[in-house]
Amino acid sequence: MRVLYFTSIFLCIFACKSIENLPALAENTSNLEEELQYIYKSDQQDRRKVLFKVLFQAEDKYLKDPKIITVSNRDSLRLSRVIELDNATLIHSDLDKYHAAFIYLHGGGIKMQDDISYLERSTELFKELMLNSSIKKLKRRGKVYYKESLRQLEWIKK
């Protein structure tokens, strides 16, 4: 119980601290790795901003919240770009796959409703990392998030 209490306090402090807004997509990047890293970073920043709204508000209430709607619109932009890069078969490195898999895992927000195909692609990328990554940390994370994406897929398909 204490661990949960202190974790909640830590998350509140971490999530509530003021941080500059990053645009959803990078304006100037010199390479694909930097672009995907930026997209991932802006995604994670957005998640921290709305974490407590998602965790502690009723779904019908938080879905109408302006911050949630803004994050959802930004998710659509990020996912559109990752799909574009993926369709052009430009995502090759393990780190690029990891960053892209997270964007697929979070879906496309309000504007892009094909969550099953996004989750399936996320699952594929995480599985690939879990089985083939030469980077131990990405291999471990791939395994954890592979299981998570499978769990979400099962839940959506029910």
pLDDT of residue 110: 66
pLDDT of residue 111: 65
Give the phi and the psi of residue 108 in degrees, each rounded to 5: -110, 15
Instruction: Determine the Cα–Cα distance for residues 141 and 40; give it in Å rounded to an integer.
Output: 15
pLDDT of residue 88: 96
From first to last of its 158 residues, the chain has per-residue pLDDT tens of: 454 444 444 444 444 443 347 777 777 777 999 999 999 999 999 888 887 777 777 777 777 888 888 888 899 999 999 999 999 999 999 999 999 999 999 887 766 667 789 999 999 999 999 999 999 999 999 999 999 999 988 988 87
Its pTM surpasses 0.85: no
Residues whose CB is less than 8 angstroms from the CB of residue 30 and which lie 6 or more positions away in sequence, other chains included: none
Instruction: Determine the Cα–Cα distance for residues 67 and 148; give it in Å rounded to an integer.
Output: 25
Closest to 46 measured CA to CA, from 16, 72, 71: 71
What spatial distance separates the first Cα and last Cα of the chain, rounded to whole Å? 32
Instruction: Determine the Cα–Cα distance for residues 73 and 51; give it in Å rounded to an integer.
Output: 16
